[in-house]
Structure 1
Amino acid sequence: MISGSALDGSGNQSNGTVGNENAKLGQVWWFALPIPVNISKQDIEITAVSVMEPADGLKILEYGAYNLEDTEGLPLMALEGSKDAPKFDKLKNYATKPVVVRANEESDIFFTARMKIESPPKGTTRYCRFEYKQGKGLYTQTLDCELDLQTN
């Protein structure tokens, strides 16, 4: 795969840390990866996403892709089962096929990492990688993203 540059790496999610200081062992959290914004002149098809450096103590259970309208905006992070968290298990998961992001547009679909706290997290979770097709090429691009969960 070739290193790509079609995605905008300057968005809000790439310039800050989201987190929770009162997380508990055994909890499952949903973390939103940066919304894909295609700054190139050609459509892309996102085929896979991954978190490059999960904090020690966190286990990634799955990745998903959801429509911003279905979640009434972007939930940067959400505790599974809390009353204000989206019911991801009831929403359409778009991760079953490539997600198209049109040229010079922001995606209506955002990606999530669902992770479980298995031991007190050490450090932060960082770097979100997107794999995509553009034309005949296969590309990978890593964007900054950061999640800091701490247990008491």
Structure 2
Amino acid sequence: MPHNVSDQSIEITGASVVDPPKGLRIISYAAYDLNDTEGLPLLVLGGESDTPNFSRLKNYAESLVKVPPKKESDIFFQAKIRIESPPRKNIERCRFQYRQGDHEFTQTLDCRMELKVG
């Protein structure tokens, strides 16, 4: 969940997983509003009854995500991942591109995600 700690608004222009581990393939990226999903879904499995129907929700990644100064966004970013073989490592970093005024920035953050295949 993006949190703008600065005194100026930011516009998020992109978000991605950095160096996905071998065995994982990123299918797509999306961004959804917490209010549409009844909170942050921590694990999403297609077809499960408690999984939001993302195909019916607005995908905010198709436009700029604006975050006011000193605020946390209600928009969260999601990567749709296909496990092609048991991953040997975890996802550890995510990269965000954003604009503040006339300046473009890229920031890499920890976003550890442990994946286990049974």
Question: What TM-score range do you get, normalising by the shorter chain?
Answer: over 0.9
**Mind listing any 5+ residue stretches in structure 2 that lack a counterpart?**
none
Offset at 1:89? Answer: 1.2
For residues 21 and 51 of structure 2, the distance between their equivalents in structure 1, rounded to whole angstroms, comes to 22
1:68 counterpart letter in structure 2:
L
Aligned length: 118
1:6-27 deviations in Å (ceiling 9; x for gaps): xxxxxxxxxxxxxxxxxxxxxx
User: % of aligned pairs identical?
Assistant: 53
**Mind listing any 5+ residue stretches in structure 1 that lack a counterpart?**
1-34
What aligned pairs does 1:69-108 form with structure 2 within 5 A after superposition? 69-108=35-74
- Counterpart of 2:117 in structure 1 is 151
2:105 counterpart letter in structure 1:
Y
TM-score by length of 2: 0.95
TM-score by length of 1: 0.75
SS state at 1:56 partner: coil
For residues 112 and 51 of structure 2, the distance between their equivalents in structure 1, rounded to whole angstroms, comes to 19
For residues 80 and 122 of structure 1, the distance between their equivalents in structure 2, rounded to whole angstroms, comes to 23
For residues 108 and 47 of structure 2, the distance between their equivalents in structure 1, rounded to whole angstroms, comes to 30
Relative to total residues, which structure has the larger strand share, 1 or 2?
A: 1
Q: Are 1:50 and 2:16 an aligned pair?
A: yes
For residues 50 and 91 of structure 1, the distance between their equivalents in structure 2, rounded to whole angstroms, comes to 20
Extract structure 1 runs of 4+ deviating beyond 3 A.
none
SS state at 1:77 partner: coil
Offset at 1:72? Answer: 0.3
Offset at 1:77? Answer: 2.3
1:101-152 deviations in Å (ceiling 9; x for gaps): 0000010111101101111111101101110000110001111111121223
2:27 counterpart letter in structure 1:
L
For residues 83 and 47 of structure 2, the distance between their equivalents in structure 1, rounded to whole angstroms, comes to 15
- Counterpart of 2:78 in structure 1 is 112
Q: What RMSD, in angstroms, separates the aligned Cα atoms of the two structures?
A: 0.9
SS state at 1:151 partner: coil
SS state at 1:79 partner: coil
